[in-house]
Structure 1
Amino acid sequence: MRITVAILTYNWPDALERVLESLARQTRLPDEVIVTDDGSGEATAEVMRRVAAWFPVRLVHLWQPDDGARMSRARNRAIAAATGDYIILLDGDMVAEPHFIADHEAFAMADCYVQGSRVLSDETLTRRMLADGTVRASFFTPGIERRRHTLRLPALARWYAKPSQKTRGIKSCNMGFWRDDLLRLNGFNESMTGWGREDTELVARAFHAGIRRRDLRFSALATHLYHRTRKNVVDNPNDRFLEDTRRRQLVRCDNGVDQHLAEFSEPPVDIRPRNSEQIA
C-alpha cells in the first residue's frame, strides 16, 4: 500500500515547514508528499527548496497561479499527480502527531473513506509551535480546544470507526481516500471556488456511490495552527452546488480531476537532490 499525502497550502510558509517536519518524523513514513500550492509567493518555494535538502521521501511541489481561492483545482492536481494507492488530504496548517500516517493506514478499508479530526490551537500556542518545531500539543498543553483530540487510544478509535454515512463534521483538512475512489467520483468539483462546501459536496457524491465514512477519533492526531476563520460566509454560492448534488444524487462532477490526468501521465519531478532518492 503506497500512501501519498497531499498538502494544500497558500502563502503560509512557516506553517508549511512545520507540517513537513512533522511528516518527516512519522513512525510510518508516507511514500510520497505532494505540496499543492494555490498560488503562493517565493517564500513558499524557498521553504520547499530548503526542506527538499533533507526530506526522507519523494517530495513534489505543484504550483498554480493565484486566481482566487481554487482549493478544488489544487487538490485535484495532487490527486492526478499522486503515485500512491491511498491519498491522505491534509491542510498546510495541520501539524501531524508521529503516528498519523500509521493510523491512517491501519484504518483504511475498501469502499470507505476516513474522516479525521483536529486539535485547535490558540494564537499563543501557534506562535510557540512556529518558533520551535519540537513543541507539540498534548492533553495538558495550555491554549487548545477539543482537548480530547490529543488522546491517542487505538482501541477506542476502532469503536468509533464503524462505517456510516454521517454528514456532520466533514472537513478535508484531515481525510483519507483510495485514489481509485477519487477518480471514480472525478475528485473535487472545480466549479466550487472560494471558501467551503467543496469537501461536503465530494462526500455527498461518495455516499451516492456507496462509499461510506469511517470516523477516525483518538488516532491520526493533528494540531491545527490558529488563523482567522473564513467560515462566516453569507449566501455562499457553493451551497447551491451542494444542494444540486444531493437533489440529483450525483456521483461524478463534470468539472473535476479528469482534466488533469493527461498533464500528469508521467509523475512530476521529485524536487529533492538526486542523491537523496536512495533514502526513500
Structure 2
Amino acid sequence: MKLSVIITTYNSEEWLKKVLIGYENQTENDFEVVIADDGSTQKTRELLDQFSHSFKYPIIHVWQEDNGFQKCKILNKAILKANSDYIIFTDGDCIPREDFVSTHLKYKRKGYFLSGGYFKLPLYTSSIITKEDILSKQCFNPSWLSKNKVKTNFKLTKLIRFKPFTLFMNWITPTKRTFNGHNTSCFKEDLIAVNGFNEDMQYGGLDREIGERMLNYGILSKQIRYSAICLHLDHERGYFKQEEWDKNLKIRAYNIKNKIIQTKNGILKL
C-alpha cells in the first residue's frame, strides 16, 4: 500500500464519523486507516465496525486503557502497527478534502516531512456538516462556509483551489514548517530513527517536539499548508493543564539547545 493514515481519537464518535466519511471519499484509495485510540468506550469500536468495509484495507484499531492523556503512547503503538513505510498523522476532528491523501503522496520526498495545516470551524458549523456536505465537497467551499456562520476573512484563502495560488501561498506564508499532529506526513524509518513520540509529554506541543528532533536528525520540512486541506471541527479541550504545557516547553528548549535526536521514553525505553 502507498501509505498509512494514523488518526487519533478519544470518545468523539460524532466527529470521527465525519472524518472517516472524508477518508471514504478520497481520490486515492491505496492506503490503510490506523485508529490510535487513547481509551475510548465501546461506542468507538461500534462506529469502526460500521466503516469496516469502506476502505481497501481493514481498519486497524489500536486501543489502550483510559489512564488520562497518553497521546504519545498510543501514537507509538500505532506507528508499530502501521504497515506502510509512509505515514500521515491526523486527528479524529479533522475532515480531509478529497485530495488530501493524494496531495501528501504527491509531495512526499526522502529526507523531508510534510507540514500541513487546517481550517478551523466554529462549533455551529462543525455540528451541521452532514455526510452529503462532505461527499459533495460543499463544506470545503468558502461561499458555503460563509453562509453557515464562518467569518469571511483572509483565512478562507486556504480553501482556494488554484494550484499557482496555493504554491505561492505555501512559499510566502510566515507559518513555520512544523510537525503538526493534525496534518503531517513522513517516512516511518525517520520516526523509528528518533524513537517516536516522547511519552514524558502530555498535551501541548508533543507533535512539535518530535519534529524538532527530526530536524536535529537531519530531516528537513516542506510546507503544504495551502495544498493539503482539512477542516478542524471545534470542541472543548478539557485536558489542557498549564503546568504540563510549561514542562513540555522546557523539554523542547532542552532538545533544541542540545541537538537531541532520540527520546529515551519513546517506542523503545532507552
Whether TM exceeds 0.5 here: the answer is: yes
State the shift of 1:99 in Å.
Answer: 0.3
| 1:160/1:216 contact within 8 Å kept | no
Report the Cα offset of residue 123 of structure 1.
Answer: 1.3
Which letter does structure 2 place at the counterpart of 1:223?
Answer: L
Q: 2:133, 2:47 → 1: CA distance? A: 14
User: Is 1:199 the equivalent of 2:168?
Assistant: no
Amino acid at match of 1:174: N
1:54 aligns to what SS in structure 2?
Answer: coil
Match of 1:227 among 235, 254, 258: 235
Does the aligned pair in 1 maintain the 2:177–2:223 contact within 8 Å? Answer: no
In the alignment, which residue of structure 1 is the partner of 2:187? 178
Map of 2:253 onto structure 1: 243
Matching residue within 153, 159, 163 for 1:154 = 163
CA RMSD of aligned residues (A): 2.2
How far apart are 1:31 and its partner, in Å?
Answer: 1.8
Name the residue aligned to 2:9.
9
Q: Structure 1 residues 222, 100: closer, same or farther in 2, change over 3 A?
A: same
Q: Deviations over 1:60-105 (max 9, x none)?
A: 1110011111111111111111111110001000000000001011
Residue 144 of structure 1: aligned partner: 150
- The CA deviation string for residues 209-253 of structure 1, in whole angstroms up to 9 with x for no partner, is 111111103211100001124697434221221122112210111
Structure 2 CA distance for partners of 1:228 and 1:117, relative to 1, 3 Å: same
| Unaligned runs of at least 5 residues, structure 1 | 260-280
Alpha-carbon distance between aligned partners in 2 of 1:167 and 1:206, rounded to the nearest angstrom: 15
1:169 Cα shift? 5.7
Q: Relative to 1, partners in 2 of residues 1:116 and 1:144: Cα closer, same or farther, differing over 3 Å?
A: farther
Q: Secondary structure at the match of 2:262?
A: coil
Taking the aligned partners of 2:71 and 2:91, their CA distance within structure 1 comes to 10
Name the counterpart of 1:71. Answer: 71
In the alignment, structure 2 segments of 5+ residues that lack a partner are none
- Measured after TM superposition, the shift of residue 159 of structure 1 is 4.5
AA matched with 1:54: S
Q: Work out whether residues 117 and 149 of structure 1, in 8 Å CA contact, stay in contact via their aligned partners in 2.
A: no
Which residue of 2 is the match for residue 255 of structure 1?
Answer: 265
Conservation of the 8 A alpha-carbon contact between 2:28 and 2:99: yes
Q: Deviations over 1:18-51 (max 9, x none)?
A: 1111111100124211001000011111101111
Cα contact 2:114–2:179 (8 A) shared by 1: no
In the alignment, is the contact (CA less than 8 A) between 2:37 and 2:63 conserved in 1?
yes
TM-score normalised per structure 1:
0.84
Q: State the TM-score, normalizing by the size of structure 2.
A: 0.87
Q: How many residues align?
A: 255
Deviates more, 1:133-142 or 1:120-129: 133-142
Report the 3-state secondary structure (helix = DSSP H, G, I; strand = E; otherwise coil) of the residue aligned with 1:33. strand
Distance in 2, Cα, partners of 1:169 & 1:40: 28
For residues 58 and 80 of structure 1, what CA distance do their matches in structure 2 show? 16
Which residue number corresponds to residue 266 of structure 1?
none
Whole-angstrom distance in 2 between the partners of 1:31 and 1:79 = 14
Equivalent residue letter for 1:63: W
Alignment partner, residue 263 of structure 1: none
The amino acid across from 2:43 in the alignment is A
Q: CA deviation at 1:59?
A: 1.2
